[in-house]
Amino acid sequence: MEDFDFGVRGWWKAWNKKFFREKWPLWLAGIFMAISGIIAYGVAVWSLARTVAGQNPYDQAKPLGTFLGLKELGGIINNGLSYIGLPHYPFSGYTWPDGVTINFFRQYPNPLLEPTAGTMLGILYGGLIAALLAKEFALKVPLDKSEYGLAVSGGIMMGIGAVFMFGCPLVSTTNVGAMGVQSLLMVIGMTIGSYFGAKLIIWFEKRRVASLACAADGAGYRPLMLFEKTRTIWPVLPEHADGGEVAGIRYQPHLALVLTILAVAVLFSFSSIGYPALSLSFAAAALTGFAMQRGGMCFAHAFREPFLSGFADMSRAMALVYILLILGFLPMKLIGSMNPDLAYAEIFAISPAGIGVLLGSMLFGIGMALNGACVSDSLWRTAEGQVKIWVGLVTLICVSAWIFPMREEHWFKTIFAPYGSENIRDVYLPNVLGYPGAVTLMVGFIAAWALLMTWFSGRTFRKYMEG
């Protein structure tokens, strides 16, 4: 019996360490991200079928993305600003694809019923569970003011960019899988923006290191940074560690277990009152957040590092996610193309295209390079307790929510996103090239992007080693 216990315990310890404590290989995290994205798309198709069948119309899941929920928040922010007499965005309403205009603020009876609001919470939740299981949660407050400067400036750029590009990098994975023209512009724009963002960071750090070198001196070894840079609020570690873990670290996995049981109970209850699709959608987003935290999957890293430190491993992992989503969405799109009732499933996550998408994604690329994280990266890193990331995320959300309503204006569509604004199928690649042509183009484009990033990374690293 003792041997058996030892065997099970030993197996559990090894598995627990491998799965919950150590970082996952990027390819594994990428596969999990893609699986959760495909599940989310499947749940969205299923919820559409349920709505067609007359089930709860508010139980409408959407493919994975973290951005559209902002329009509900935008309503709240602009309402609040108008009450206190501050500048707010005037707008008339939101038009559904069937032509019915409704009050922008009242699209859903509760803002949390907006599917992507649940997705954002799901990623945050999944990231938190992963961080707690790995005992990596710690509230860290940077004392270096420049970090906040980067977070706020990056957050503003990303907030504006996200409105113009119709999404965030996580949305770009869904959009690439969905095969819209806008997704190609997003990837190109974020790559160009990240290039300039990386150059800005290099310029900034060179100035900074040069100024510190003047101050650094001493015998034995020289501390390059002479000022206090962070304060960990929780958990507080004792000054003289005796080798044991403080309670705030030791019990993090237990807290994760309690939160998981609670979430399962809440999701079952929510499901039983008519929201099974939104419950499943939240679970898929939680799996995404979990995989992103475990693998350290970061879009900012994938787009910026080939130009900054000369690494493209994350770029290749994201390319894997993109390609798996293209192939994974395909059967569901074909179901949509063959069933008139589910025709909308074919064009889920397709957005209009135009110069606004390119410019917006370039601005977003610069912003995410400066901030160090995009929306979904910020969510799982927020769950790790990085307070700087919270500042960037809140700035991004407030700015983009504030200006979000402009996207519904006629002038915006005419100037910045004219293609597909009238008929979204105009920018749906399978509609233009047929499915075989569209799949070949999209997979080829992503493979070429991954190769380009790998080439740039080699060039950057060679310069570093030779310089």
Partner 1 sequence: MSIEVKLDEELDVKGLVCPRPMVMTMTALKKLEKGGTLKVTANDSSVKHSIPALCERAGYTLLEQSEEGGSYSFIIRK
- Please state, in angstroms and rounded to a whole number, the distance separating the CA atoms of residues 71 and 107: 9
Total of residues contacting partner 1 (CB under 8 A):
54
Query: Rule CB under 8 A: is residue 147 a binding residue for partner 1?
Result: yes
Q: At closest approach, how far in Å is the CB of 54 from partner 1?
A: 47
Name the nearest CA neighbour of 151 among 367, 460, 3. 367
Token couple for 381 = 């890193």
Phi-psi region of 110 (alpha: psi -120 to 50; beta: other; left: phi over 0): beta
Query: Rule CB under 8 A: is residue 304 a binding residue for partner 1?
Result: yes
Identify the residue among 18, 106, 229, 459 touching partner 1 (CB under 8 A).
229
Query: Rule CB under 8 A: is residue 465 a binding residue for partner 1?
Result: yes
What is residue 141's three-state secondary structure? strand
Q: Using CB under 8 A, which of the segments 61-69, 237-245, 325-333, 403-411 binds partner 1? A: 237-245
Identify the residue among 17, 106, 207, 222 touching partner 1 (CB under 8 A).
222
Nearer to partner 1, 205 or 422 (CB): 205
Query: Rule CB under 8 A: is residue 374 a binding residue for partner 1?
Result: no
User: Which residues touch 88 (CB under 8 Å, ≥6 apart)?
Assistant: 77, 78, 79, 81, 82, 402
Query: Rule CB under 8 A: is residue 308 a binding residue for partner 1?
Result: yes
Q: At closest approach, how far in Å is the CB of 197 from partner 1?
A: 9
Q: Using CB under 8 A, which of the segments 12-20, 54-62, 225-233, 261-269 binds partner 1? A: 225-233
Residue 229 to residues 165, 221, 408, Cα–Cα distance (Å): 35, 19, 43
Say if residue 56 is exposed, middle or buried (CB neighbours under 10 Å; 0-12, 13-18, 19+).
Answer: middle
Q: At closest approach, how far in Å is the CB of 305 from partner 1?
A: 7
For 375-410, b/e burial (b = at least 16 CB within 10 A) is bbbbbbbbbbbbbbbbbbbebbbbbbbbbbbbbbee
What is residue 375's three-state secondary structure? helix
What is residue 348's three-state secondary structure? coil
Q: At closest approach, how far in Å is the CB of 259 from partner 1?
A: 18
Residue 344 to residues 27, 116, 320, 334, 408, Cα–Cα distance (Å): 32, 18, 26, 11, 20
Q: Using CB under 8 A, which of the segments 11-19, 132-140, 263-271, 272-280 binds partner 1? A: 132-140
Query: Rule CB under 8 A: is residue 136 a binding residue for partner 1?
Result: yes
Q: Using CB under 8 A, which of the segments 75-83, 95-103, 230-238, 401-409 binds partner 1? A: 230-238
Query: Rule CB under 8 A: is residue 367 a binding residue for partner 1?
Result: no
Identify the residue among 333, 388, 407, 413 touching partner 1 (CB under 8 A).
388
Question: What mask, x for binding partner 1 by CB under 8 A, covers residues 389 to 408?
Answer: x-------------------
CB atoms within 10 A of CB 11: 10
Tell whether omega for the bond before 235 is within 30 degrees of 0, i.e. cis: yes
Q: Contact positions toward partner 1, by CB under 8 A?
A: 23, 136-138, 140-144, 147, 201-202, 205-206, 209, 220-225, 229-232, 235, 237, 241, 245-246, 249, 296, 298, 300-301, 304-305, 308-309, 311, 313, 369, 372-373, 381, 384-386, 388-389, 461, 464-465, 467
